Amino acid sequence: MDRSLLSPDEELYRRSDEVLHYLWDPIGVAGMPGARDEYDAYLPQVFSLLKAGARADEIADYFTEVSTQAIGLGSNRERDRQIAELLLEWKTKIFER
């Protein structure tokens, strides 16, 4: 689909979905087509944080909370921070147009 046909919010939502599945991916399912919706439950909160102007640390805190409390894994703060920064870069790129 031509990106120009998407509203900025729609594009940010899609990009966030892709980042969560392919890059954040704390349980390692990015290569499994049947698991494409694995992180859908967390996407609305990530999108809300981005839209509300949350800083990278706040977004990373959410990722850490999900990883440790909801999923039951250990913390990977460095990864969570990198992913949060990437999402903020996407937001900037999308809304600069």
Q: What are the domain boundaries of the chain?
A: 3-96
- d(C-alpha 21, C-alpha 30), whole Å: 6
Q: Which of 1-10, 23-32, 34-43 has the lowest mean pLDDT?
A: 1-10
The domain made up of 3-96 has a fold known as Endonuclease III; domain 1 (1.10.340)
- In this predicted model, what pLDDT tens digit does every residue of 67-80 receive, in sequence order? 999 999 999 999 99
pLDDT given for residue 97 in this prediction:
76
Q: Is 56 left (phi over 0), alpha (psi -120 to 50) or beta?
A: alpha
pLDDT for 44 beyond 80 = yes
Cβ atoms < 10 Å from Cβ of 90:
18
Contacts of 30 (CB under 8 A, 6+ apart): 21, 22, 23
Note the helical H segments in the chain. Answer: 8-19, 43-51, 56-65, 77-96
